[in-house]
Chains A and B, each alone.
Chain A
């Protein structure tokens, strides 16, 4: 390796007008992504995800950016190559800031991902950025109803049993659209498991 990686630096508190302009009411530039990953032609079971990012004092973080990346209902990631070979219009990528909701929640409207390989349970990949976080963190959200698949997931198997529950969402509503709650704890007894991606 002849070149050194460019060091990470914090996203800072003022990213929203550049990265999530529409959500924060800025109209000068268009969004490249939003917290709604679906479009009319998206195939799959509609779900929504919501959560709060908590700091070490259990206070909600009001300037975090959450990014998610997930497979389609058939377990495919919407890379440029895969997009050419499918009629599923699911984009797989979403963004949400925590500065707009009065409770500092992030939320996503999406579909439940399919299984993308044998030793992987259905999951949603998360990246979290915020002021005070000098390098981003990676985590994953798993589904509570996938007990069997979760037991064979290569990521979960690397996590000490006592900490696995930090990665399993809670199902909050059983109405037409399932709502999952996935809170993120930066510190404390329930500190979320972050992965060394």
Chain B
């Protein structure tokens, strides 16, 4: 067990309150979080490795398809590594994803956007990183969708990601975006991070990861909090 993790880097993570992202106004804590020394509670994490079947859950082009049909949209493969801040690969880490379909509609009952559902697309899956920290998902490129934050507000295309890592302290939920999207500049959620940090949320198109005749490849690495260096190591 690691003896403690580096703090969350608040020059990277968005602050709780964001003037332009309206839902934060009533939901962001107003008081500073209380400082603590990490204990076993923060340094341990549940083990999901035995629980899931990697092969069946990382292909969103198949896991919602009926009778061998295919979802509509541009097929993509999203792959990369989960590392800590020291660049150390994080094996056996659970990654869960969810996204809307190529028309910009989520299967979630609360999504009322007037765009069609795709009978062959569910939009959620998961996998466990391999011994080198590598993960891979197949999916279709999600569409942009409108939301009520401000006049003519549209979310840029994104995939939601949830990661555990080795400890309760390394838990992360984020969204990753696509390069060159003109909506990024207008999106208060993406813009809530500092300018330097924003590029860390954008996948790179990668011809090496692209599968010939099948799917466009995108690379995205996740960096989780790493073990704090002891004074000796510093």
Q: List, in ascending order, chain A residues with CB within 8 A of B13's CB.
A: 5, 7-8, 134-135
Contact with A along B58-87 (1 / 0, CB 8 A): 000001100000000000000000011111
Identify the interface centre among B25, B32, B63: most chain A CB within 10 Å of its CB.
B25
Query: B27 to A56, Cβ gap below 8 A?
Result: yes
Query: A134 to B192, Cβ gap below 8 A?
Result: yes
How far is B13's CA from A31's CA once the two chains are assembled, in angstroms? 28
Look across to chain A and name the residue whose beta carbon is closest to the beta carbon of B99: A18
Query: B85 to A1, Cβ gap below 8 A?
Result: yes
A127 at the binding interface (Cβ < 8 Å): yes
B26, B49, B86, B226: which contacts A57 (Cβ < 8 A)? B26
Query: A154 to B36, Cβ gap below 8 A?
Result: yes
B213 at the binding interface (Cβ < 8 Å): no
Query: B87 to A69, Cβ gap below 8 A?
Result: no
Interface on B for A, CB 8 Å cutoff? 6-9, 12-16, 18, 21-42, 44-49, 51-52, 57, 63-64, 83-87, 92, 94, 96-98, 100, 106-111, 122-126, 160, 162, 168-169, 171-175, 189-190, 192-193, 197-198, 200-201, 221-226
Interface on A for B, CB 8 Å cutoff? 1-19, 21, 24, 26, 28-30, 32-33, 55-57, 59, 61, 63, 67, 69, 71, 77-80, 83, 91-93, 99, 116-117, 120, 123, 125, 127, 129-138, 140, 154-155, 158-159, 186-187, 191-197
Interface pairs (19), CB distance under 8 Å? A1-B86, A7-B193, A9-B174, A14-B98, A17-B122, A28-B64, A29-B122, A32-B126, A59-B26, A77-B40, A79-B45, A134-B14, A134-B21, A136-B173, A187-B28, A191-B31, A196-B32, A197-B38, A197-B168
